[in-house]
Amino acid sequence: MELMDILQKIIDIAIIIVVTVLIDKIIDIIIYKTIKIKNRKNITTMMVFFRRIKRIILYSIGLLVCLSTFEIFNTFSVTLLSGLGIGSVVLGLAAQESLKNFFGTISIVMGSPFEVGDFIECTDKGVSGTVEDITMRHTVIKTINNRRVLIPNGEMNYYTIENFNYKDNESVKLVDYEISYESDVDKAIKIIKKEMQKLYRPNPKGKNKNEEFPKVRLYSWEDSGIKLRAWIWGKDLGDASENVYKLNYSIKKAFEKENIEIPYPHVEIISKQKNKKVKE
């Protein structure tokens, strides 16, 4: 091989590398701009996944183009392709689980049963939390106690998933407050509604516009008292839970101030003493 041929191949390879890197950078810019403009979770999830696989595909193509500049690669290309065909079968059998997770990832990204940032519950697995990341192999779920659970995407496609953010982020919790039969029911309902209005002032956070607010109902008659049910809203599940904690405190204080009795078990201890005769 002459010196000029060697130099030409070096220049060709350098051009291929530069073009590959430039294409990679341009695609990254397009991905970031798409995420910023669209500002939607499903677009973000899809773009992040695409960014992970495009570099592998792009540099693999660049490597093949570089190798194609050498005659020895062209001479053995048929043999190499035949070997790759046999090898792919062997690798496919050995990596069935990896391929299952890979196609599971594509199914999740394209189907969007859940996205990064959604609060989900895998009812079959007994795991709930916020989706922190969707990788090419697994889904990372951050639980409420700040632990990370990694579930293979091949399995996620078979689980029953409850997505609390699938369409509307607004969430409501049904909370029961029990009062004694001697307490004034109307007064207790009025107190609960008043405390709810204080919490949500000026407007209910996360409340569906078509829903009644504040909503309190007499739910049932129990052995120990009357149970009142309140519909407590939040902009998401975490916010609704936080509102429940705040209302529990304020309603307890308001009930004490207005003499609304909250029933609780009472234990009476009866001490029985026997008369003892003293022998003289």
Distance CA(226)–CA(256), nearest Å, equals 17
CA proximity to 237, closest of 120, 77, 123: 120
Q: What is the C-alpha radius of gyration for the chain, rounded to an integer number of angstroms?
A: 33
Bridge partners of 38? none
**Strand (E) or helix (H) holding 13:** helix 3-38
Reading the block at residue 29, the tokens are: 């810019």
- Residues 158, 180: contact at Cβ < 8 Å? no
251: closest CA among 190, 207, 183, 171? 190
* Pure H helices in 39-127: 41-67, 71-75, 77-94, 96-111
User: Bridge-partner residues for 233, per DSSP?
Assistant: 172
DSSP state of 211: S
How far are the Cα atoms of 26, 41, 272 from residue 116, in angstroms, in the given order? 25, 7, 66
Three-point CA angle 31, 59, 95, nearest 5°: 100
Q: CA 125 to CA 4: how far, in whole Å? A: 64
User: What is the CB-side half-sphere exposure of residue 67 using CA atoms within 13 A?
Assistant: 13
For the chain, what's the residue count? Answer: 280
Q: What string of pLDDT tens digits covers the 280 residues of the chain? A: 566 777 777 787 788 888 888 888 888 787 777 666 655 555 666 677 677 677 777 777 877 777 777 666 655 555 555 555 555 554 554 456 666 777 777 777 777 788 788 888 888 788 888 888 887 788 889 988 888 989 888 888 888 888 877 666 677 889 999 999 999 999 999 999 999 988 876 555 545 566 788 899 999 998 889 999 999 988 777 788 889 999 999 999 999 999 999 988 777 777 766 555 544 4
pTM of the predicted model over 0.85: no
